[in-house]
Amino acid sequence: MSNTQVRLKERPVGMTNASTWDIVNGEIPEPGDGEFLCEVEYISLDPAMRGWINDVKSYIPPVGLGQVMRAGTVGTVLKSNHPEYKEGDTVVGTLGVQKYAVSNGDFCYKTDTFGLPKEKFLGVLGMPGFTAYFGLLDITNPQEGETLVVSGAAGAVGSVVGQIGKIRGCKVIGIAGGPEKCKMVVEDYGFDACIDYKNDDVRLGLKEHCPKGIDIYFDNVGGDILDHCLGRLNFKGRVSICGAISGYNSTDGPQAPKNYLSLLINSGKMEGFIVFNYRDRYMEAAKQLGEWMMAGKLKSKETVIEGLDTFPDTFNRLFSGNKMGKLVLKP
């Protein structure tokens, strides 16, 4: 048995490609005092990873050249010299794009899987689910009868945002790419409607589906879609800035909103957040999301791709949209 790791080889300009990464085989590491060895069973592929390889100041330091690519993971403890982890424990953490990892427990937590597939703990019952929970409930305080618009609606975060919006009694309109995804958003996740931004006019779609305007916009994508939503914002409207995936591979950086004066005209607010700042409340979100899931009120999909050698191509599926729900790699 040997370890395989994906390391950052060079910083990309625009989209990543095979030369961005080194795929390296080596020894399985031994845990030292206060450490455990984990077999990584699933690796989370997240749009934010594209930002982590830019050499710029952000909420987290960039991944260094030659370092194992940072990523969320779920796996099983194989050996432990750590007082809080024992062999067989399921661990969710940030152990990187590799088959085996040694950890001192930083940025890790143990979880009971309740017999559910482990990959769900990287999606609806993990970081993206927590992002939806705090980014919607804490930032926008949705009320019954309000109109909520969610972009990236077929994705890991957006699909959960819309379903929580429905639980809270909102009218929920999604925005997603292509007829298949829009159908899934309405039929499987229970949104009231979904606008296909790849084939339809988003501005007209919002006019049709939000005749009384938008009370809350949950933004996963930025760019023109953010501008269209700002253009229909209601008095005291709230915009939760979760992400701006449309700009992550742009060499000019993300596009600034042109319609921001809509916030002034409507006494609205736009607020960004980082899920990691809610770390102390993760268990609150996990418990509530788990209860909704057990009650059949929350659904999720995962696309699982096998093989670390596929990482360079699989990673870019986040930006082409060639996946359904949460994208996960099985090493």
Ligand X SMILES: NC(=O)c1ccc[n+]([C@@H]2O[C@H](COP(=O)([O-])OP(=O)(O)OC[C@H]3O[C@@H](n4cnc5c(N)ncnc54)[C@H](OP(=O)(O)O)[C@@H]3O)[C@@H](O)[C@H]2O)c1
Binding site for ligand X (CB under 6 A): 46-48, 128, 131, 152, 154-158, 176-177, 181, 220-221, 242-246, 273-275, 318-319, 321, 323, 326
> Residue 80 CB, nearest distance to ligand X (Å)?
29
> Is the Cβ of residue 91 or residue 242 nearer to ligand X in the bound state?
242
**Residue 31: CB minimum distance to ligand X, A:** 30
Q: How far is the CB of 125 from ligand X (least distance, A)?
A: 14
Q: Does residue 18 contact residue 312 with C-beta atoms inside 8 Å? A: yes
Secondary structure element (H or E) that encloses residue 202, with its range: helix 202-209
**Minimal distance, residue 89 CB to ligand X, in Å:** 25
| Beta carbon nearer to ligand X, 222 or 290 | 222
**Which CA distances in Å does 251 have to 69, 129, 139, 222?**
21, 30, 30, 15
Q: How many CB atoms lie within 10 A of CB 228?
A: 24
Distance CA 96, CA 79 (A): 18
Helices (H) and strands (E) in the chain, counts: 9, 15
Answer for the pair 200, 230: CB distance below 8 angstroms, yes or no: no
Q: Compare residues 51 and 105 and give the one whose CB is closer to ligand X.
A: 51
Using Cβ positions, the residue closest to ligand X within the complex turns out to be 155
Please report how close the Cβ of residue 70 comes to ligand X at its closest, in angstroms: 14
Question: In 3D, which of 279, 328, 330, 282 has the Cα closest to residue 306?
Answer: 330
Identity of the residue, 77 or 150, whose beta carbon is nearer to ligand X in the bound complex: 150
Residue 323 vs residues 86, 152, 226, 314, 315: alpha-carbon distances, Å: 35, 12, 23, 9, 11
Shorter beta-carbon distance to ligand X: residue 190 or 321:
321
Least Å distance between CB 197 and ligand X? 6
Closer to ligand X by Cβ: residue 92 or 245? 245
